[in-house]
Amino acid sequence: MRRSFVNTESIVVLAGAIFLIVVLPCLNAFTAPQSWLHVSDFTINLYGKYLCYAMLAISVDLLWGYTGLLSLGQALFFSLGGYMMGMYLMRMIGSLGQYREPIPDFLVFLGWSNLPAIWKPFNSFAFAMMMAVLLPGGLAAVFGFLAFRSRIRGVYFAILTQALTYAACLLFFRNSLLMGGNNGFTDFKFIVGYNLNLSATQRGLYICSAVALLFVYLLCKWMTSTKFGKIQRAIRDSETRVLFSGYSTAHFKLFVFVLASLIASLGGVLYVPQVGIINPSEMAPDHSLEAVVWVAVGGRGTLIGPILGAILVNGLKSWATRAYPDMWLLFLGALFIFVTLFMPSGIIGLPGQVRALKKKIQDRGRPAPPSDLTGAAPLPQPVPANSAAAPGRNASKPG
Amino acid sequence: MKKHFLKATALVSVLGLALQVPAQDTVKVGVLHSLSGTMAISETSLRDMLLFAFDQINDSGGIQVGGKSYKIDPVVVDGASNWPLFAEKAKELLEQDHVAVVFGCWTSVSRKSVLPVFEKDNGLLFYPVQFEGEEQSRNVVYTAEAVNQQAIPAVDYLLDQGIKKFYLLGTDYVYPRTTNLILYKYLLLHGIAPADIGGGFVKNDSGQVISAGKYVPFSYTDFQQIVADIKQFAAGGDACVINTINGDSNVPFFKEIVAAGLTPDECPVVSFSLAEDELRSIPTKNLVGELGCWSYFMSLKTPENKDFLGKWNGWLKSENYPGVVKEHRVVDSPMELSYDGAYLWKEAVEKAGSFDVDAVRKALDSGDISFNGPSGKITVQPDQYTTKNVYIGTTLANGQFEIVKQFPQVVGQPWMLKSLDAQLQAKGM
Amino acid sequence: MKFKLLFGALPAFLTVFLAVRAASAAPSAAGESASGTNVIRQELVQAILGGGGQRQALLDKIADSGSGVAAGILSAWTMQEVYLYAAPDGSTIPVTLESQQDAAGTSRAIRIDDGGFLKDASGKELRFGQSDLNAAYTNIRLRRQIQQALDTLALSAADPQARRAAAVKLGYSQKPGYVPILERRLAKERDPAVKKAIHVAIATLQLGGPSAAVQMAAVNELAALKSVGSLDTLTRLAANANNNPQLENRVKAAINSIQEHIRWVQFYGTLFHGISVGSVLLVVALGLAITFGLMGVINMAHGEMIAVGAYTTYVIQNLFGSGFAFSITLPFSIGGKAIAFGLNLPGLNASGWFYQSYFLFAIPLSFLSAALAGLLLERAIIQFLYRRPLESLLATWGVSLALQQIFRMVFGANNVQVSSPNWLLGHFSLDDVSLDYNRVFVVAFAIVIVLGTWILLSKTPLGLLIRAVMQNRDMAGCMGVRTGRVNMLTFAFGSGLAGLAGAFLSQIGNVGPSLGQTYIVDSFMTVVVGGVGNIAGTVYSALGIGTADQVLQQLTGSPVTGKIVSLVAIILFLQWKPGGLFAMRSRSLD
């Protein structure tokens, strides 16, 4: 059963990757606009955005689904990556801004006449990319080191990460930080010499996003299948036992936290040139919450789930804000409630749920088999969260 | 007739327009406002007003182009106070729906986020909400009040009334920052000493003031210290507060002002982001005499305005659009400017004889496109700012404004900062 | 009693004004003669219709008369409630409108020149709506002049607060002519606060001269009185006094001593602001301390429970007023007909003290409505998630989104207006530290609900059951406790507390669909810092965070920096004490 699942998964992934990386861009580039096969620039751009969100979702899942750490601050790392890319893109505008001056517009109306020191190195793409690794990674390392050293976990970890992203959000809103304040960065023109307004550039960015997502997926797939992945899941299920078995769980958690922050940052780096804006509201606490919802809808503790969840929930949002502009939040809210109550393992778990239901119907009338049913449940991850979450509660939970 | 239809169809297929409705008698128009999220409190009313304007245009025969009449088919989307979503929706409207024009945006950041999309796809946006200026795009028609059509007249009025101390207070984003910096320079030019401008300054390394005033974050709720600060500032008399706080933070601010007993005759507050629609959420009976400055007030006693309000109220009774609230409605300047925008666009399209953006823009830029709206005549300038009347009003207990001064036909100026800098330099200040 | 007498004696249009300013008009109204009143009325008409310098002279004359009628009309003038009626013969008649309106919103007009109703040629009483007439012209300068006249009148008011305010304003008028008026009053004055204000006013006026000796005495007086308001005048004097070094030094010393005084005022002010912000946080977070702290439900809909309470207050206010109505049109149609439904509740049209008491009814009803909403939420969703606390976060977030949209559909996307009852408006001063009534109220309110919660949890049988179930649900169940029911009641109680918070927040802030979002992060922070599962911890952490926030704001001069620094401080604090201030001890691992 396990083996066949893996095979199904690799087939699905291969098909999905070919479709997203090769077929969609080809349909965009090589078909006539009026053809029914044609995929518009708009759609390509939209999917590019979804795929970046998918990377954010994977980073949440790596922490929550695989390690039992619910982070409500992943959007912070996503935005930090985005901001680093944004700073580079702002420099590439050159003198084409509203004021026709060689420094970014918002600096002009903040009264600056020459470039502040922190902005100077961002002329270099390589430097910006390096910062997109160092800044989120460094922040995650420091925060993670402090948090895991003091054994902060469960709800405390969730609320602390939320406080972190909230503080950063307020900080970036301040115009005195010289990061554009509430407006953030917009009006990008060029990326490494290519004009961002051309559909070929946007297509290229889309392909980059799809390839990056595939790379992230494969990396995580490999990592979770090694011994490291086993320890990771062991921490999720019972951290104390892992600790007593002689592993330093804090180091493992720190590594995963930093890795997840880098994945989120990569998503942000690719996101910004495609949507054309980065501003502090991306860091607002509810954006991180939304990412958690994508994972829950798709199915946590799997790697396909978050991708599916990110694409489906955002697709639904894109459609509903147009079709039912006055009601869509009701649908979205209802969806979250429904998924939480009736689909504890998300869309990925649906086939399993259906099979279990079938079995139940077949078994009707016969005495139910004893408790081993929970063990045999086909859900990939039977509800790992409560052990990590409830402070001093659920002591009676069977380990 | 038939020939025209064939031509139109051919044109449509060449351009790749996938219009489902018969193309010969409707034109798609986009409405891009936040109907959910934090900005919904302000923007929803603009959507309602636009739907009213479209219904009114359609009922009176639609838009006449090439001897035919087109009905407006609005495409309403929700930007959800989410700026990347604004950009996505703008793209969708322009690239998928191929709308002829978009009416929308409220905050500066939403305008900034859609601007690249409009420039890339050569769309046309009508922007109706007072803003900082300092921007000029070929793809935006700024029906909104620029700084010199709101803040400057208000300050002129205050100076004329013998106010000598100005406390600058705003939300921390572009509009208040820019407006306060402009006002700081303007006040210096008019002989007010920096010590009499309250709220604090930030200077750059060379000692030049780059920011003036006190700033709070969005949705800030606790104004105890700031009001205590203002009280001290105003203790010596002849002071006022220039308030550029955005939207919903005004409610806790004014509730604190009332609680602290800072009355309008001691220290009037002149607000730039507070119109009738926002005043509905503030108990005004204790705030009679505070000031507002807009290019429209609901209390205008012109026959055009009475007629307009009558029709609006009639429409509210009969409409059944989902999400349009019928009870306790008022009209304010951003709503009225949205309404004007719809008619200015109609005028320009009819003059151009085409919905094509370039042709419409050419008509707009001629300087002849004007509309006699509820607030008087509004004319599109060649730089796509607008010339219109500006009024100063004081608040009444019923949430309306009593007009105390009128500045007729003020020309919108995009680049205030630079011109003030030049004037200051000329004076050697 | 006086109030009631007046009620009958004066025209009805004055009643609204009198409710606010009854005391100020009272003493002088008694002794007015009919002929004197008529002269005043003529002068008022001239002042309203006339312009320029003549107006000031007339206003001064009216001010000296001490007439109560004049006070009423002048005050209506500043409220933009004096209207100009253009008579058919071309003359302009200033009028005020009676406060009683008929069904069409029109009311009778009262002539200012004789106090009678305005009639047309045939003797029929004319009726007007507010927007039918133009209000008499006012501007800031004129409003100040009128206000000064009113202040002079108010100097003999019965209410010491009004007398004090009047004295302060006259002091800043920079018109030495007021000195004799103020001195006359000083001789009669008994109230110490008013006396101080009059002293300050006289000294401030004397700063302008006539002789250096008088100036010197005034400076000494102001320094001794520590008058904050005269700081500007003193600063100006210091700049212009360089020909008199002795005076200059005295002025500088006075400025220093006043600035020292300001620092103390700021210190105590900040302390009070901190306590009041802490109390707001406490009121907001206490419900969450129960639903999240005790029950372990990560209740993201907590903010919307607050909003339910606030909207309940709004509805109650409207029911006391003109009624409440809403209608919703759904974006679906059946058989081509749009689905719409609505509700129309008639109001009580209450006024006076009965209307002002609406808030007393709103408080318990907000508790009940939010508790009911919480009860429904618990039964429909939460009860299935007690074993999956992190997932309760997702479901309740969904609830939160849906509720926000429902608020928008029912109450509109705009914020709605909730006006405070008069007894919550205003403030009192303790040596220049001003304490708002509503802030004092929230401190008391917080104490009451914390006490109430404490008594419920530790002194009642229900509290015992709640604590048992929260400590160990399964064990309590085994002992025969109906855990489902206890869970339900506890959650409803926590939600009800959130509703109470909403009722209070409606007095100081917005009431709108996203009201809850403003407070949700702060609430969680407060509970976590206090230590999950510990009510006392929440009290300490709320007060601590509130005070820290205000002190930092004062120190950094920027509201945001204060907030950022306190968030970072919270993060660091939790590294040091991972379980919060009062960590719950437990022997269980994981």
Q: Where are the domains of chain C?
A: 2-142, 266-324+347-449+483-576
B 299-318: CB under 8 A from C: 299, 301
CA dist list (Å): A148 to A190, A248, C260: 41, 10, 47
Distance of CA B403 to the CA centre of its chain: 19
- pLDDT value of residue A371: 45
Query: Closest-CA residue in chain C for B301?
Result: C131
Select the more confidently predicted residue: A344 or A373: A344
Q: Which residues of A touch C563 (CB under 8 A)?
A: 170
What pLDDT shows up at residue B209?
84
How far apart CA A352 and CA C237 sit, in angstroms, is 86
Contact at CB, C273 and B236, closer than 8 angstroms: no
First to last CA, chain C: 69
Is pLDDT above 80 for C566?
yes
What is the tens place of the pLDDT at every residue in B41-91?
889 999 999 999 999 999 998 999 988 899 999 999 999 888 889 999 999
**What pLDDT does residue A386 have?**
41
What is the residue whose two structure tokens read 């303790």? Answer: C430
Characterize the bridge pairing of strands B209-212 and B201-203: antiparallel
Q: What is the pTM of this model?
A: 0.83
Instruction: Give the B:C interface size as CB pairs under 8 Å.
Output: 194
The domains of chain B are located at 2-145+302-388, 148-299+391-426
Mean pLDDT (chain A) is: 85
Nearest CA of chain C to the CA of B323: how many Å? 6
- Chain A residue at shortest CA distance from B202: A176
Q: Which residues of A touch B76 (CB under 8 A)?
A: 325
Lowest pLDDT segment from A352-356, B162-166, B175-179, C179-183: C179-183
CATH code for the structural domain at B148-299+391-426: 3.40.50.2300
Q: Is A277 on the interface with B (CB under 8 A)?
A: yes
Is residue A393 within 8 Å of residue C387, measured between CB atoms?
no
Yes or no, beta carbons of C576 and A395 under 8 Å apart = no
Residues of B in contact with A326 (CB under 8 A): 35, 78, 322-323
Name the CATH architecture for the domain at A2-363: Orthogonal Bundle (1.10)
pLDDT digits (tens, 9 = 90+) for C189-234: 788 888 888 888 888 888 776 777 777 888 888 888 787 777 777 8
Size of interface A-B (CB pairs under 8 A): 130
Q: Please check whether residue A318 touches B, CB under 8 A.
A: yes
Q: Name the minimum distance, in Å, from the CA of A97 to any CA of chain B.
A: 10
Q: Do C141 and B162 touch (CB under 8 A)?
A: yes
Is B148-299+391-426 the same fold as B2-145+302-388? yes
**Which tens digit of pLDDT belongs to each residue from C333-380?**
677 677 777 788 888 888 888 888 999 999 999 999 999 999 999 999
Give the number of other Cβ atoms within 10 Å of residue B67's Cβ. Answer: 8
Sign of CA dihedral B208, B212, B214, B215: negative
For residues A25 and A16, give the distance between their C-alpha atoms in angstroms, rounded to a whole number. 13
The H or E element containing residue C216 is helix C212-225
Contact C578 A394 (CB under 8 A): no
Nearest to A279 among B36, B76, B83 (CB): B83
Residue A123 has pLDDT above 70, yes or no: yes
Q: Locate all alpha helices (DSSP H) within B238-382, ordered by sequence.
A: 250-259, 276-279, 303-318, 333-352, 357-365
Within 8 A of C413 by CB-CB distance, chain B residues are 35, 40-41, 43-45, 325
What SS3 class is residue C201? helix
Confidence of residue B36 (pLDDT cuts 50, 70, 90): confident
Q: Give the distance from residue A127's alpha carbon to the nearest chain B alpha carbon, in angstroms.
A: 25
**Amino acid identity, position C13:** F
The answer to whether the Cβ–Cβ distance between C437 and B259 falls below 8 Å is: yes
- Reported as a pLDDT band with limits 50, 70 and 90, residue A251 is very high
Q: Taking CA atoms, what residue in A is nearest to C403?
A: A330
Q: Identify all chain A residues contacting C575, using CB atoms and an 8 Å cutoff.
A: 146-147, 149-150, 152
Give the mutation candidate from B120, B121, B244, B420 for the A interface (greatest A CB count, under 10 A): B120
Q: What percent of chain B has pLDDT over 90?
A: 51
Question: pLDDT, tens digit, for every residue of C155-191?
Answer: 777 777 778 777 877 777 777 777 877 887 888 778 8
User: CA of A330 to nearest chain C CA: how many angstroms apart?
Assistant: 4
Q: How far is B358 from chain C (nearest CA, A)?
A: 35
3-state DSSP helix/strand/coil percent for chain B, to nearest 5? 40, 20, 35
Specify whether the CB–CB gap between B166 and B192 falls below 8 A. yes
The per-residue pLDDT for range B106-153, each reduced to its tens digit, is 988 899 899 999 999 999 999 999 888 888 899 999 999 999 999 999
In this prediction, residues B231-237 reach a mean pLDDT of 82
User: Which residues fall within 8 angstroms of residue B123, CB to CB, at 6 or more apart?
Assistant: B90, B93, B94, B99, B101, B102, B117, B139, B357
**Which band of pLDDT confidence, cut at 50, 70 and 90, is reported for residue C584?**
low
* Chain mean pLDDT for chain B: 87
CATH fold of B2-145+302-388, please?
Answer: Rossmann fold (3.40.50)
Its ipTM equals 0.84
Give residue for tokens 């200051």: B424
pLDDT digits (tens, 9 = 90+) for A152-170: 877 788 888 999 999 999 9
Tokens 């705009």 belong to: C414
| pLDDT value, residue A214 | 95
How confident is the model over A221-230, as a mean pLDDT?
91
Q: Is B266 on the interface with C (CB under 8 A)?
A: yes
State the chains in contact with A (3 or more Cβ–Cβ pairs under 8 Å): B, C
- pLDDT tier, A393 (very low <50, low <70, confident <90, very high otherwise): very low
Contacts of A289 in chain C (CB under 8 A): 300, 393, 397
Q: What secondary structure letter does DSSP report for A196?
A: T
Question: Exposed (0-12), middle (13-18) or buried (19+): which is B59, by Cβ within 10 Å?
Answer: exposed
Using an 8 Å CB-CB cutoff, list chain B residues near A277: 83-84, 87, 109, 112-113
What digits encode the pLDDT tens for the residues A67-103? Answer: 999 999 999 999 999 999 999 999 999 888 888 888 8
Q: Closest approach of chain A CAs to the CA of B208, in angstroms? A: 8
Nearest-Cα residue of chain A relative to residue C413:
A326
